Structure 1
Amino acid sequence: MELEGNTKFNEYEEKIRNHPAQGNNYHQDKLHKKKEQDAQFLITQNPLLMRNLLIIIDTTKSSKINDFKPSRLSVALLHLPAFIEQFLECNPLSQIGIAVAEEYKCTTILDFTSSCQNIKQYLSTIHSINEAGFSMAACLQTALHVFSATQLHAQSSILFVTTSTYSDDKLDLFEWTDKCEQAAIQINVISFAGAIHQLIKITQTTDGQYLCPLNEYQFSQEILKFVSPQELKNHKMITQLVKIGFPQKLIVNQPTLCQCHLEIVYNFYKCPVCYSKVCSPPLLCPICSTWIVLPHQILRSDGYETLGVFEMQNDGLEHICFGCQEQTTVIHSNCKRCKKFFCLDCDILIHSKFKVCPGCA
């Protein structure tokens, strides 16, 4: 993806190199980091407010193969937490569910949630089994059941992490693929076992992606491509009014039961409509179906439409960074909307974490 003003990076790097100030290597490193961050920011720009992602992990016998060190499943479980953190960071109003593919079946181990801590906890319980029999059709059947209870206005997508070389189906695979296509569920696959014609055809039918990493590092990079939503060419999102409630957070000394996952909690949020206790927004209230969300999550989602890549400038003048209030002399960034100046450190922080320009806000 082409960056605006990308041709100026070499020019600014030369000016930094020739600048009499000390620490030029430091500024060059920041310049390169800004270039990488701008490219990542453009990739993860997300016009969708709500997404539901179901991650299905293949735990059959092939997941123990050690062509990826120490094993295929171990590599997946090592890099999935970083992907989940970035997904929830870039999609504040989205949720993730976890399922495992076992012997000719698929089991949901975690319903949709936005709690990164809960997701990591359940990922740590996944392990390989000694049985073969990966069934894509059984996984799609489970996924359709899971998505039937989600919101129609949210994008539904599946991410398969497969280790098997084929799909051994007792059900009609393409019948269930057609049902997923009709339900506008996008199917993405990242495969340790190379290209499989059946699965490639399924991803193409549902406007998904099929990726085959060659090593551990490539897997960690390829999986990040699923952070941003892929375009659905054959389906249109349903637009409808959504009942939203802003909850109150409570901390109690006595254990209480959450209504969303039926687990013991001490910190919870109270639904403003039915006063149910739920774990962590955003989520759909299991009692009154109110979309429970925090104000800053809406603000961060809206920030994708208002925050753009800052333009680098080198006018030879000293400016005060609007973020950290420190002087910036060599290279600084400028927001096109509010015209505020920022140092490279604040520029990187704004685009990687906050997603909202302090000057515009």
Structure 2
Amino acid sequence: MLSRESQSAKRARISDDTETSALVRRGMIRYMYVIVDLSKAMEESDIRPTRMTATVEVLMDFIRAFYEDNPLSNLGILYSKAGTAKTITYLSGSPKIHLKAAASMKTTGEGDFSLQNALELAYTSLASIPQYGSREILVIQASLSTCDPGDIFETIDKLAKEKIRCSFVGLAAETHICKYTASKTNGKYSVVRDKTHLRNVVLSHIIPPVEATAQGERVSTKCSFVEMGFPSQAELKNGVPQPAICADTGEVSTKGYYCPRCKSVASEIPSECKICMLNLIASPHLARSYHHLFPVPRFKVKVLDKALDECCEACVLPLQKSSLKESFQCPRCQACYCESCDDLIHDTLHNCPSCLQFVMGRGVSTDTMDVDEKS
């Protein structure tokens, strides 16, 4: 069960997602680098137990949730300390690599943070990404200063020109350079209060951002086709899977996936074929990315009537037993749900069960349903 603050933050993200979904375009294929400040400022304990420990724990939660909601996307992790920036993990579609790397970051802070070096390192990798991909940088920063070797404003201009979005999560006070960079690149800038707020702010970046122009105007750009392949699993011979050398790892495995174009073997999907550079995915990955384009609308909060014995439409448990003494009503079908089922619908199912029941019975789309007709 979510805390009251987490519940409010989640519903705010749902509201923002649903209000803009019909007017704008979102990128289903994202390329994001997370820059983590590992300077001396991360050793402060104003966020319990320390900024470093809290950041690593939240980062691991973010990695899991990011791939759950964005299976076609790629993530990478950088860090900056002692005035330098280095790559921990390169852009990859495998959460295991990033989780292992994030767990090893629980170390002591060292030296000063360098924002320019970190942005330049991320820019070098993201500049070569195709235009159909949404290119993003998320900076988790504790330091109030940055030790840069050159003019950071030139770096910011390069990022803005390439339409690389930079967002910041501040663990201390607000800084002008971070606010300016976020504004210039159409990113977001937030300063957190505690660990709960830190988690809410970082997880808010799971939802794909709205594509925008350099001036911040929301636009719908032209569609472009992206070539993808649906690989088959390792072949069986006499009922026994045959071993093959994976092109990405170089290891022998019996659980690989055969590229439909060049027949090379990939150890996991989604991934990119190392031989012909074809994007390899499965149909469930597309389905899981699709819900960002047509999200479930925010449910209305409805105060329970003590005189009525109402039940949740999904779990059929009495709503009167809810600790919140309120239910959540779908604006389309008017069905009421408890808090737990509301979380399940928006975070996992991405469909209203009552609306689906109506669609199956009437054969219409949920996007064309009228509230009066459904009720």
TM-score interval, normalised by the smaller of the two chains: 0.7 to 0.9
Cα distance in 1, alignment partners of residues 44 and 351 from structure 2: 44
| 1:97 paired residue number | 76
Picking from 276, 280, 284, the partner of 2:264 is 276
Query: Structure 1 residues 271, 150: CA separation in 2 closer, same or farther (over 3 Å shift)?
Result: farther
The TM-score, its normalising length taken from structure 2, stands at 0.72
Picking from 332, 344, 350, the partner of 1:349 is 344
Equivalent residue runs for 1:52-63 within 5 Å: 52-63=31-42
1:256, CA displacement in angstroms?
A: 5.0
1:352, CA displacement in angstroms?
A: 1.6
CA distances 1:323-352 after superposition (whole Å, capped 9, x unpaired): 77x699999988787x69786465542322
Q: Secondary structure at the match of 1:107?
A: strand
Matched, 1:206 2:201: no
Tell whether the 8 Å contact from 2:246 to 2:267 is kept in structure 1 after alignment.
no
Tell whether the 8 Å contact from 2:56 to 2:106 is kept in structure 1 after alignment.
no
Picking from 16, 36, 41, the partner of 2:14 is 41
Cα distance in 1, alignment partners of residues 189 and 7 from structure 2: 30
Tell whether the 8 Å contact from 1:153 to 1:238 is kept in structure 2 after alignment.
no
CA distances 1:169-194 after superposition (whole Å, capped 9, x unpaired): 11221111111111110111112231
Cα distance in 1, alignment partners of residues 207 and 120 from structure 2: 25
The sequence identity of aligned pairs, in percent, is 22
| 1:8 paired residue number | none
Q: Name structure 1 gaps, 5 residues minimum.
A: 1-28
Picking from 226, 232, 241, the partner of 1:248 is 232
1:264, CA displacement in angstroms?
A: 8.0
Query: Structure 1 residues 33, 160: CA separation in 2 closer, same or farther (over 3 Å shift)?
Result: closer
Cα distance in 1, alignment partners of residues 49 and 300 from structure 2: 44
Query: Which amino acid letter does the alignment assign opposite residue 348 of structure 2?
Result: K
Matched, 1:234 2:229: no
Q: Secondary structure at the match of 2:54?
A: helix
1:277, CA displacement in angstroms?
A: 3.3
CA distances 1:31-53 after superposition (whole Å, capped 9, x unpaired): x9999865543345574311111
Matched, 1:189 2:168: yes
Cα distance in 1, alignment partners of residues 171 and 319 from structure 2: 48
Query: Which amino acid letter does the alignment assign opposite residue 41 of structure 1?
Result: I
Query: Which amino acid letter does the alignment assign opposite residue 166 of structure 1?
Result: S
Q: Secondary structure at the match of 2:291?
A: helix
Q: Secondary structure at the match of 1:80?
A: helix
Cα distance in 1, alignment partners of residues 46 and 286 from structure 2: 43
Q: Name structure 2 gaps, 5 residues minimum.
A: 236-240, 321-325, 361-375
Query: Structure 1 residues 113, 204: CA separation in 2 closer, same or farther (over 3 Å shift)?
Result: same
Tell whether the 8 Å contact from 2:243 to 2:252 is kept in structure 1 after alignment.
no
| 2:369 paired residue number | none
Picking from 86, 91, 96, the partner of 1:107 is 86
Cα distance in 1, alignment partners of residues 193 and 310 from structure 2: 48
CA distances 1:86-121 after superposition (whole Å, capped 9, x unpaired): 222333322211111133322112122233333211
Query: Structure 1 residues 105, 263: CA separation in 2 closer, same or farther (over 3 Å shift)?
Result: farther
Matched, 1:302 2:290: yes
Tell whether the 8 Å contact from 2:6 to 2:196 is kept in structure 1 after alignment.
no
Query: Structure 1 residues 342, 117: CA separation in 2 closer, same or farther (over 3 Å shift)?
Result: farther
Q: Secondary structure at the match of 2:15?
A: helix
1:133, CA displacement in angstroms?
A: 3.0
Query: Structure 1 residues 303, 256: CA separation in 2 closer, same or farther (over 3 Å shift)?
Result: same
Moved more, 180-189 or 223-232: 223-232
Query: Structure 1 residues 80, 336: CA separation in 2 closer, same or farther (over 3 Å shift)?
Result: same
Tell whether the 8 Å contact from 2:247 to 2:274 is kept in structure 1 after alignment.
no
Query: Which amino acid letter does the alignment assign opposite residue 151 of structure 1?
Result: P
CA distances 1:4-37 after superposition (whole Å, capped 9, x unpaired): xxxxxxxxxxxxxxxxxxxxxxxxx9xx999986
CA distances 1:134-171 after superposition (whole Å, capped 9, x unpaired): 21111111111111343321111101111222111112
Picking from 273, 285, 288, the partner of 2:273 is 285
Query: Structure 1 residues 144, 71: CA separation in 2 closer, same or farther (over 3 Å shift)?
Result: same
Q: Secondary structure at the match of 1:134?
A: coil
The RMSD of aligned alpha carbons is 3.9
Q: Secondary structure at the match of 1:161?
A: strand
Query: Which amino acid letter does the alignment assign opposite residue 83 of structure 2?
Result: Y
Query: Structure 1 residues 174, 35: CA separation in 2 closer, same or farther (over 3 Å shift)?
Result: closer
Query: Structure 1 residues 329, 69: CA separation in 2 closer, same or farther (over 3 Å shift)?
Result: closer
| 2:43 paired residue number | 64
Query: Structure 1 residues 191, 246: CA separation in 2 closer, same or farther (over 3 Å shift)?
Result: same
Query: Structure 1 residues 113, 225: CA separation in 2 closer, same or farther (over 3 Å shift)?
Result: same
